[in-house]
Structure formats: structure tokens, C-alpha cells
With several copies, the nearest count.
Chain A
Amino acid sequence: MSRSHPTNPPESNRMIIPPVDPSREILFTIPSRLEMLAVLDQLVQALVHQADFDEDSVNAIATSIIEAGTNAIQHGHDEKAELPVHFRFRVDAQTFEAWVEDQGPGFDLSTVLSTDPTGPEGLLNSRGRGIYIMRVMMDEVEFDIQSGSGVVVHLLKRRHTNGDAAPGA
């Protein structure tokens, strides 16, 4: 029967998106409007807080997901409200993961990674910091870019336990 939403999202052919686990999956879809970022922030904070991550991790995760959402809305969808941005969140004992998906033109990641926004050329540039912020604040950031059919960003944060060295790349 046709429903307002599918029971579960269809499985993806994107390598970086794991099979759906409906008992842990939280899905969120918004129109491409910048003002939705404030709502996204509250949602992510509530989710990560509920999952008992420490305050620094809550901020790092919310900040990073806002950067990914900003890119999807601005660069992926050129703020065309009718293009939806899809978020998928998954919490487990050790990690918080998010996938952020747009349907935009994609971009060349190696060009972005070749400039250091904290170096002398980058520091006073008014753009080019979003992906850098995600990579510093999260433990893993992966991109699946399919030219002409959008970008999926996968963000992962590990739960820091007492005495842990900051995990990372």
C-alpha cells in the first residue's frame, strides 16, 4: 500500500551508507532553506545529548553537521527550497554517526583538500572552512561524490571515555 512515507528507506547503492537498521535509525528531511539550520542544530543537540555524549562532543557534532547541511543547502542545492536535504543519524554504544545527502552537482574534493584554510593564503579567505571544521571536530569524515547526482557526507564521532587520547585518523 502506498503510504505517506515508505516503511523503511530503500537500501542504498552508495558504498558509504550501511544497510538500514530501523531500530536505531533516525531520519530527517528538510527543504533547502538556511533557516532550517537552526532547527537542525536543536535536533542534533537533543539527539547527541540524549545519547549521553559529553558537552564538547555535543558541540563538535552539532557544529559539524551544520557545516555539512550548510554545504548541501548552499553549494549542493543553491538554496532552492524545493530540493530536500536528507539526514540520517545512528547512535550506538561507541559512536554517533550522521549521513548528509544532497542531489547537487558534486565537486572536486582534492581541490578543496589542497588548500589549508589556517595557512597564510587561507586564513583571511572568507570561504573554504566548512570541510576543514568537520575534519578537525569529528573522528571520521568521508565523502561519496557522484558527479551530477549529489554528495553524501558521512560523519562519525566516537564516545570519549575517561583517560582516552583523542581518537582520530
Chain B
Amino acid sequence: MRIKQDVLGKAGVIRLSGQLMGGPDADQVREAIAALVAQGTVQIVIDLNDVSWVNSTGLGVLISSHILVANQGGALKLMRISKRIESIFTVTRLNTVFQVFDDEASALSSCAG
């Protein structure tokens, strides 16, 4: 997995590519989020456009990140997920935990308020 991060207005955007599956990936995501939170950004969007799949360990990374950010009064949102990743969110009902956006504009505007 590779990771890039941006701050766009109030939102931190973390762009992942490859696969998200725990192990070293988990540490990278945690560090990126810690860096954003340290500079006061707690509205965070994870861009999964270039992620081909997420396994259950990767889901765990997203959940613990979500809890971390929520504890700071923020929220972790997802955008641009493939059909394959959507089906793993549906099956695990994590679609009831995460807000998911189809495109960057709507994800960012949900963070602006």
C-alpha cells in the first residue's frame, strides 16, 4: 500500500493505493491520521479510488481510525470505493458506520460545515 495526504480546507484527505490489509499498512494509516489530528484536522476522508481490495484486517484499521478521530470530535469518511469493496462493507454492515461518498466534491463539502 502507498499513502499520500493533503489538507483541503477543513478536511484532511488520505489517499491510499494498492491493498489495505493491516500489518505495516495499519501503521502508515495511523501515522497519517495522527499527523492530521496533531495539526487540528479531525474531519478526515480516506480516498479508496486506487485500492483494489481491503481484507478484514484492513477493515479493522479503518474502524480503529474511525474511533480515534471520533474521540477527537471528528469523523472518518470514505470516498470512491469500488463495487468489490462496497460489497465487503455491506456484508459486514460497516456501511452503517462509515459515511461513503461517490466523489471528492461531496465528501469535502460534508466536512465544511
Contact = CB atoms under 8 A, between A and B. Distances in A.
Interface of A: 34, 37-38, 41, 56, 59-60, 62-63, 66-67, 70, 74, 79, 117-118, 123-127, 129-130, 132-133, 136-137
Given A41-B53, A63-B88, A129 B59 contact: yes
B63 A66 contact: no
B19 A133 contact: no
B7 interface: no
The prevalent SS among residues of A at the interface is helix
B19 A129 contact: no
Interface residues of B, number: 26
Contacts of B88: 63, 133
B21 A63 contact: no
Interface in B26-59: 52-53, 55-57, 59
B97 interface: yes
B106 interface: no
Which 5 pairs of residues, A with B, have the shortest CB-CB distance? A126-B60, A129-B56, A118-B93, A130-B56, A59-B84
